[in-house]
Amino acid sequence: MPHTILCIDDEPDICDALERVFRRKFRVLKANSASEGLEFLAKEDVTIIICDQRMPNMTGVEFFKESLKTHPDAVRILLTGYADIESVIGAINAGQVYRYVTKPWDPTDLTMAIDQAVDRFELTEELKRKNESLAHANEELKTLDTAKSHFMILVNHELKTPLTSLINYVSLLKDTALDPDQTKYLTRIEQSTQRLTLLVTEVLELVSAETGTAPMKLAKTNVQDLFDIVKSLLEGQFGPNQELQFDNTKLKVRADKEKLKNIIYRLILNSIKFGDKGKPITIKASLNAENKVEIAVENAGSPIDEKTISHILKSFTLNEDVLKHSTGLGLGLSICQAHLKQQNSNLNFASTKNKVKVSFELPEA
């Protein structure tokens, strides 16, 4: 279907002249008053509106303001004489006028103006369709993400029930008389059960943090106390020449103590696994210029580029060449990032030739 042009002018000869210019290429509607023009808009799909500024009862700009109610995307062109410009120019934006054409007009210039107006209309319509498609796709993504989260929570819950039974029966069997082969088999079952329990717990922790279902218990937390707790939890896991060094600090932060402890634990555990086994791991807390406490874990090791950082922060994206994972789902940093986002913070990576530093900020308490 050709585009429709509505021409409004109280002089019929003007409307007839416009029709002669555009009838071969467009469908032309003619109205000799503003009221007649509004009647057309009530029932017609109009692409371009050409309206004279000086008409009885309603000016062209006033008509355009009315047309916005039914045809917000139509392109508006105002017909006017030079004498009208000063009085019109202040009201042009109110009527969303695309451009004005002076009387008498040059047919070539007018035709070019209409062609440009049609191009503008088509681009606007295409952009609207793309935006609608994008909005629809975004809603689908939100639905899929919600479904994924619900599915993961359900799966984790259903996995924990049989796991609990396995753990209990393994415990009972260990108290019975077993021959060497049975003891070996039971040990293997126990190890696999423990590993599966850890994986289920990590997935549930990640999903809960990402969906905001894990409640935040913000409180004043002594950083030094957390350092001491984490150090005791990691006892025996350091390499032959690795040791944990930390600044003696009295800083306090406002945070979820349990989640913060887990974040620090995971970051140090990563440093133990992937750092230089013969060099110390440093952890410190310091107050920056913005009165926020920066907690940083630093270890000797190969530098990490931006692509690798982006990769290791994604959930369920193991890469044996990147971090040499042999067990687990590679969720440690993803869980840290999810917990920090709940506290309006995030992990920051900085690496030099032979050092890697991972840090985050929390408000001072």
Domains, the chain, in order of start with CATH, read 4-105 (3.40.50.2300), 135-211 (1.10.287.130), 218-363 (3.30.565.10)
Higher-pLDDT residue of 94 and 47 is 47
Return d(Cα 233, Cα 230) in angstroms, integer: 5
Q: Is the pLDDT of residue 82 over 50?
A: yes
Helix (H) or strand (E) holding 1: none
The region of weakest confidence among 99-108, 109-118, 241-250, 319-328 is 319-328
**Relative orientation angle of helices 332-342 and 180-211, to the nearest 10 degrees:** 30
Q: Which residues contact 81 (CB under 8 A, 6 or more apart)?
A: 54, 102, 103
With cut-offs at 50, 70 and 90, classify the pLDDT of residue 323.
very low
Mean pLDDT value across the chain: 82
Q: Tell me, what's the pLDDT at 94? A: 60
Q: Tell me, what's the pLDDT at 360? A: 92
Query: Of how many residues is the chain composed?
Result: 365
Mean pLDDT to the nearest integer, 170-178: 87
Q: Is the pLDDT of residue 36 over 90?
A: yes
Mean pLDDT to the nearest integer, 66-91: 77
The verdict on pTM exceeding 0.75 is: no
Q: Tell me, what's the pLDDT at 304? A: 79
Percent of the chain with pLDDT over 90: 14
Helix (H) or strand (E) holding 103: none
Q: Tell me, what's the pLDDT at 155? A: 67
Q: How far, CA to CA in Å, does 208 sit from each of 161, 197, 199, 216? A: 18, 16, 14, 11
Read off the tokens for 326: 């042999």
Q: Is the pLDDT of residue 282 over 90?
A: no
CB atoms under 10 Å from CB of 9, counted, come to 25
The region of weakest confidence among 26-30, 112-116, 236-240 is 236-240
Q: Tell me, what's the pLDDT at 320? A: 46
The region of weakest confidence among 81-90, 178-187, 199-208, 308-317 is 81-90
**Relative orientation angle of helices 332-342 and 257-274, to the nearest 10 degrees:** 150
| pLDDT tens figures, 215-271 | 788 889 888 888 888 888 888 887 777 777 777 678 889 988 989 999 998 888 888
Percent of the chain with pLDDT over 70: 88
Q: Tell me, what's the pLDDT at 85? A: 65
Mean pLDDT to the nearest integer, 160-182: 86
Please name which of 276, 283, 288 lies closest in space to residue 249, comparing C-alpha atoms.
283
Higher-pLDDT residue of 2 and 144 is 2
Return d(Cα 133, Cα 67) in angstroms, integer: 27
| pLDDT tens figures, 176-213 | 888 888 989 988 998 888 888 877 787 777 877 777 77
Which 3 state secondary structure label does DSSP give 53?
A: coil
Tally: H helices and E strands in the chain: 11, 12
Q: Which residues contact 357 (CB under 8 A, 6 or more apart)?
A: 296, 297, 298, 349, 350, 351
Q: Is 44 within 8 Å of 67 (Cβ atoms)?
A: no
With cut-offs at 50, 70 and 90, classify the pLDDT of residue 326.
very low
Q: Tell me, what's the pLDDT at 32? A: 93
Q: Tell me, what's the pLDDT at 30? A: 94
Higher-pLDDT residue of 55 and 202 is 55
Return d(Cα 85, Cα 108) in angstroms, integer: 22
Angle at 308 between CA 278 and CA 283, to 5 degrees: 40
According to DSSP, residue 298 is labeled E
Q: Tell me, what's the pLDDT at 334? A: 84
Please name which of 41, 43, 63, 42 lies closest in space to residue 52, comparing C-alpha atoms.
63
Q: How far, CA to CA in Å, does 299 sit from each of 276, 296, 325? A: 7, 10, 18
Q: Tell me, what's the pLDDT at 89? A: 64
Q: Tell me, what's the pLDDT at 325? A: 42
Mean pLDDT to the nearest integer, 5-13: 92
